[in-house]
Structures are given as structure tokens and as C-alpha cells.
Amino acid sequence: MPDDATPDPYADPMGFGTRMQILRTRRGLSRPVAAGLLGMSPSWVKQVERGEIGMPKLPIVLRIAELLRVRDLADLTGDQSAPVDLFIGPGHPRLQEVRDAVNALTLNADREAPSAAHLAARLARAWTARHEAPNHREVIGELLPSLIRDAQLAVRQADAAADRRAAQAVLSEVYSLSQFFVAYQPDSALLWRVAERGMVAAQESEDPHAIGVAAWLAAQAHRDSGPAHFDAADAMTSEALRYLEGFLPDADDRTLAIAGALQFEAGYTAARRGDSGTAWGWWDKAQATARRLDSAYYHSITSFGQAIMGAHAVTVAVELRAGGESVRQVVSADAQAIRSRPRLARHRIEEARAYQLDGQQETALATLEKAHQAAPETIRYNGYARRIVLEETESKFPARRQRAAVLAEQLGMLAA
């Protein structure tokens, strides 16, 4: 290894502090910024990284892991005896089938492709099934392989330019559905391949809605890759919003909704940066867009509409790590208005984060139990929920430890 090469944080032996420093540097975080996000002083971070302070207790370790987007806790602690995945859930049994369909070449076929209208109808049923099912990954994992192959074939066999654009729009949305399935599973390369193909198909379709959806999902993928990728997330949302701006005066509901969803994504990234004014400013813009929609409108892909804005406010407050404000937003939000089971479970997780920030750990656990009731496959793949549960398994209160242990077992977190 060259003398100026970055050390490998996974090489042994290496202390906790050194691993933390390397991973922090890779994420593009300065010590002062990391310290602020952890609620500690820069000198404390420096002492930990230099080994002057030993490895912190589990709650702090988990917060560091969350900040640095560490996938496996052992990557930070160096303890390989009991690996615990935080931001990557277990591989779904249907992951290989979906991967095979994405990776397959559809060049020649001895059958006629379904029409774009037929595929669009199947897609609509798939989105409905996803929103209604507690085991939504299982449901869409079963539907995706044939949808992917048929949509690819429809593009391949389209002759007229209009037919080809229509088929590309459907293919792009199929990739969008695939991204919901692949996210937080142990194949990040597949996630990016799906995101990029979705964007290419959307651009080929020249459909504003398809382009907006692809950009919305790509921005999330960039943001979830960590602070070093926040600029890419911002660039994606900004460019998509500029493109959509000309369509908005006379836009149909779904195009208007994807613009609102992108506005919130810009606010979400700003909140991740800790920029409160920009985050709430974008939330206000998204709220104004939502009010242009009928009160009952609910976008089938992003869940955007008036009913989701309360949940979005909770997310902004939580990402800004404002405990009291987060709980106030929880009280104001109408969770029952969220029609999608996985989106409701996601909101319950955000509520739990709010309660934990406010020091209400017992309520946080109870809220995660509600998330599990709404959609077990959402909480099972959510890193924030997993972090809270794991932290509470170390609680000094026996009742909380027991409650957290039951949830940890349900989520499959403690398996060797």
C-alpha cells in the first residue's frame, strides 16, 4: 500500500477511534460538524479518534454509526463476533429473482410484448398491493420479475416513436417500483443500476411525471449515501424542479404531486445538513403545492398529498434533531390519514425517533411496536428503527430491555 493511501478501517488490529476517524473522513465530515451532529464537543471527537478516550457506551456508538451511515456495527467497533446490520436489512428471499430480471438481456423473444396500456394497468395494481400489504416487499417481489421482463420487451418491440416513448415511461415506473424493493437490501450496486436505468428510460419517454419520479428516487439514493453526496442530491432535485416548472401551471395532479414530493426532498436534504431555515422553507413550498391538490389526493408512488405533510413536518424536525419540536409535530400530524401501510409504518418510525430525541424512550418503543403492526417489512429494513431497538436492549430498566428484546427478535437483528 502506498504511504499516502487511506488506511482500511476494516483491517485488524485497529482501534475504535481510528476506525471512526477514517469513516468520518470518507463521509466528508469535519470534526466540528460531526461533533455538532452528535451533540458532543470537537475536543471529545478528537480524543476518541486519538484513542485518548476508550470506545463510548453503546447508545453513543449507535449514534456515531447512524451519523457515519455504517452498514454493519462491526465495521465501526472492530468486533466481528456478533455482526449487526444497521442500515442494510436482510436479503429478501425474492431478491435473486428480481436481480436476475434486471440483469437479463431482452433482445429476442418468441412472444409479443404486452401493450403499454396493459403494463400500466398491472403497475397500478402492483402499487395498490404495495400500499395495502403489511408484507409489501414479498408482494412486489413476486410481481416484479415478470413486470421487468415484459416492460423491457415492450420497449424492444415498439416501432412507432410514440409507442416507444409510452413503453419507456412504463419501464421507468417499473424500475421505480423495483427501487422500493431493492432499497436497504445487501446489493447497493443493484440499487444504483435500477436507479440509473429508471432515469434513462424516463428521459427517453419525455414524460414529465416519469422524469420527476426517477429524479425523486435518485435524489434519495444520493442523500442516503451520506453527507458527501448531499450536493448530488440537491443537484438532482433542483434540476428536476427547473424542468418541471414550465409544466406546473396546467399540470395534471400526478405531475403536480411529483413536483411537491421533490420540493420536500430538497427540504429533507437541507434538514440532514442541519440547515433549519432552508429545510422549513422547502416544506412550506411543498405544503403550498399540496394545497393545490384535492384533500383526498394521494400520489401512488411518493404518497404525496395534503395528508402526508404532517408526517413530512415530523421528519424535518427529527432530522434537525429538535426533540421538543419533533414531538409537537407528532401531535399535530394525522397518522390515520396516511393510507399506505408501509408509509404509515415509516411515519411511526419517525415518531419514535422524535420521542427518543425528547427523552421518551418508553413511548418510542411503543411507537415502534405500532410500526411493526402496520408493516413488519418496513421496520425490518429501517436503520433508524433498528438503532433505537438495539440501543434499548441495553437499557438499565428491565421492562424496556425485555420489550426491546422482543422487537429485536421480531426484526431478526440478533441472529448470528
The DSSP string of 267-299 is HHHHHHHT-HHHHHHHHHHHHHHHTTS-TT---
Q: What is the CATH number of the domain that holds 396?
A: 1.25.40
Residue 116 · residue 53 · CB < 8 Å: no
Residue 207 · residue 169 · CB < 8 Å: yes
Q: How far is CA 305 from CA 87, 160, 396, in A?
A: 28, 35, 42
What are phi and psi for residue 157, nearest 5 degrees?
-95, -5
Q: What band does 309 get if pLDDT is binned at 50, 70 and 90?
A: very high
- What is the mean pLDDT of the segment spanning 331-347? 94
Regarding predicted confidence, which is higher, 287 or 48?
A: 287
pTM passes above 0.85: no
Instruction: Tell me the residue type at 211.
Output: I
Q: Is residue 365 part of a domain?
A: yes
pLDDT for position 186 = 83
pLDDT for position 144 = 97
Q: In angstroms, rounded to a whole number, what is the distance separating the alpha carbons of residues 72 and 387? A: 11
- Structural domain ending residue among the three candidates 25, 59, 77: 77
The answer on pLDDT for 61 being more than 80 is: yes
Indicate the helix (H) or strand (E) that contains 341.
helix 341-357
Per the structure, the complete domain to which residue 60 belongs is given by 16-77
Q: In angstroms, rounded to a whole number, what is the distance separating the alpha carbons of residues 270 and 273? A: 5
Q: Is residue 100 part of a domain?
A: no
pLDDT for position 414 = 61
Q: Is residue 244 part of a domain?
A: no
pLDDT for position 51 = 87
pLDDT for position 411 = 85
Regarding predicted confidence, which is higher, 146 or 411?
A: 146
pLDDT for position 182 = 92
Residue 214 · residue 199 · CB < 8 Å: yes
How many structural domains does the chain have? Answer: 2
Reading the block at residue 310, the C-alpha cell is: 404532517
Q: Is residue 313 part of a domain?
A: yes
Q: How far is CA 368 from CA 183, 363, 377, in A?
A: 20, 9, 13
- What is the mean pLDDT of the segment spanning 99-123? 88
Q: What band does 409 get if pLDDT is binned at 50, 70 and 90?
A: confident
Q: In angstroms, rounded to a whole number, what is the distance separating the alpha carbons of residues 141 and 368? A: 24
- Structural domain ending residue among the three candidates 36, 57, 77: 77
The answer on pLDDT for 395 being more than 60 is: yes
Q: What band does 342 get if pLDDT is binned at 50, 70 and 90?
A: very high
Reading the block at residue 256, the C-alpha cell is: 403536480
Q: In angstroms, rounded to a whole number, what is the distance separating the alpha carbons of residues 45 and 50? A: 9
Mean pLDDT, the chain, rounded, equals: 89
Q: What band does 39 get if pLDDT is binned at 50, 70 and 90?
A: confident
Residue 208 · residue 237 · CB < 8 Å: no
The answer on pLDDT for 66 being more than 80 is: no
Q: Is residue 101 part of a domain?
A: no
- Taking phi over 0 as left and psi of -120 to 50 as alpha, with beta for the rest, 355 belongs to alpha
Range with lowest mean pLDDT among 59-63, 229-233, 381-385: 59-63
In 3D space, the residue among 312, 367, 365, 374 whose CA is nearest the CA of residue 339 turns out to be: 374
Regarding predicted confidence, which is higher, 39 or 223?
A: 223
What are phi and psi for residue 118, nearest 5 degrees?
-65, -45
- What is the mean pLDDT of the segment spanning 392-409? 88
Classify residue 358 by its DSSP letter: T
pLDDT for position 24 = 87
- What is the mean pLDDT of the segment spanning 316-324? 92
pLDDT for position 80 = 52
Buried b (16+ CB within 10 A) or exposed e, 32-54: ebbbbbbebeeebbeebbeeeee
Which percentage of the chain shows pLDDT scores above 90? 62
Regarding predicted confidence, which is higher, 39 or 163?
A: 163
- What is the mean pLDDT of the segment spanning 359-374? 95
Dmax (CA) of the chain: 69
pLDDT for position 57 = 81
Omega prior to 2 cis, within 30 of 0: no
The answer on pLDDT for 9 being more than 70 is: no
- What is the mean pLDDT of the segment spanning 368-390? 91
Query: 258 has which bridge partners?
Result: none
- Structural domain ending residue among the three candidates 43, 58, 77: 77
Q: What is the CATH number of the domain that holds 28?
A: 1.10.260.40
- What is the mean pLDDT of the segment spanning 379-391? 87
